[in-house]
Amino acid sequence: MTKFSLKTTIIRGVALALPLSVVLYVLYKFMKIFESLIGPIAKKFQIEHIFGEITLTFFAVLAMLGIAFLLGLLMRIKSIANIRREVEALVLKFIPSLNYLELMAADRLHADNIDLNWKPVLVLKEDHYFPAYILEENEEWITLVTVRIPNTEPIGMMLVKQSSVKCIPITMKEMRLYNKQFGKGYIDKIT
């Protein structure tokens, strides 16, 4: 158990509050834009108060969900998916912790088949195994992020030669489950 620190707790709270407030602000602005676009149409068809005061908000949410669905369909096109990856890489340069949040979101959505920047693995180095994420790798080197037990928070980073480690791919779901059990279940993965 780690020692409680007021300073660390406040810094972590700010680190969560800033990106969260930006996301909420952007969503709020999108809602207002969609409400202003939908307002005249709803007024023309006299349905601006069909659900009371929240009618325009309801239609704005429906419009945003519809656009998200259409964008999801567009992601099936390879060139569009490549653009998303390039934009994501640019954003991750400024907010690197989004990789971890994306990994957690994929786990919550049970989306093991999506392309993640951090790959959960069980690493054999010398004579012991430990759970980690692969950040990047080439023919010679591999960048690993070690995780905290009993959760999956990143705690350390190491750059090692590919030849000095063996990585067994696991899912984020498996990593979370085994880490919650303080490692129980990992033996089945290595045998």
Instruction: Give the chain's mean pLDDT.
Output: 79
Question: From residue 104, how far is each of 52, 68, 117 by CA, in Å?
Answer: 37, 20, 12
Looking at residue 114, its pLDDT comes to: 47
Closest listed residue to residue 129, CA positions, set 171, 180, 170: 170
Closest listed residue to residue 119, CA positions, set 172, 182, 185: 172
- Condensed to tens digits (0 to 9), the pLDDT of residues 159-191 reads 888 888 888 888 877 888 888 888 888 888 888
90-115: average pLDDT: 62
The band of 107, judged by pLDDT with boundaries at 50, 70 and 90, is low
Neighbours of 142 (CB within 10 A): 22
Closest listed residue to residue 159, CA positions, set 126, 137, 139: 137
Looking at residue 103, its pLDDT comes to: 61
Closest listed residue to residue 60, CA positions, set 32, 41, 40: 32
User: 142: which strand partners?
Assistant: 137, 160
Two structure tokens written together for 99: 């990789």
39-63: average pLDDT: 79
Is the per-residue pLDDT at 139 higher than 80?
Answer: yes
